[in-house]
Amino acid sequence: MKYLESLDLVHRDLAARNCVIDKTFTVKISDHAMYCDRYEGDYYISDTKVKLPIRWMSWESLLLGKQTTKSDVWAFAVTLWEILMICSQQPYAELTSEQVVENCNHWYQNDGCQRYLPRPASCPREIYDLMGECWKRNVADRPRFSEIHLFLQRKNLGYIPGPT
């Protein structure tokens, strides 16, 4: 995502379902899930028949159609949440699609009623704080992928994955 950001390219569907991990733990980002029946439940079909990953979308993407690398930063935090939940549940699983849209309206109105995804049990406080930074209402207040990358590199110093 840091690379895509450097090219000012917006992914628009960052989610665990679109991540492929190779033997060296390198993550490749794709967009294949939109075309797989298996992931049909992760998309909302709009009135215009467009498939939208509303549970991963920032409020400004869903409500205003503004898609930027900063809306991808929002989706990154949702994806990180998914991973830390071991992909055991959909984001905002307790909400209907209509309630997810209503939650985005609370973000838009900045009325203090917006819901955040809860901190996963296995999630260190500083990682959840990073997720919170990615979910800032004001786009300009969200970190860039280059900053997220640097933060995660520092958190990962000295870690070497074991054999698979």
Known catalytic residues are 13
Amino acid 120 reads P
Extract the tokens encoding 31: 């967009």
> Each residue of 24-36: b (16+ CB within 10 Å) or e?
eeeeebeeebbee
Q: From residue 90, how far is each of 5, 105, 122 by CA, in Å?
A: 26, 20, 17
Start-to-end CA distance of the chain, whole Å, equals: 25
Tell me how far apart the alpha carbons of residues 65 and 12 are, in angstroms, rounded to a whole number. Answer: 11
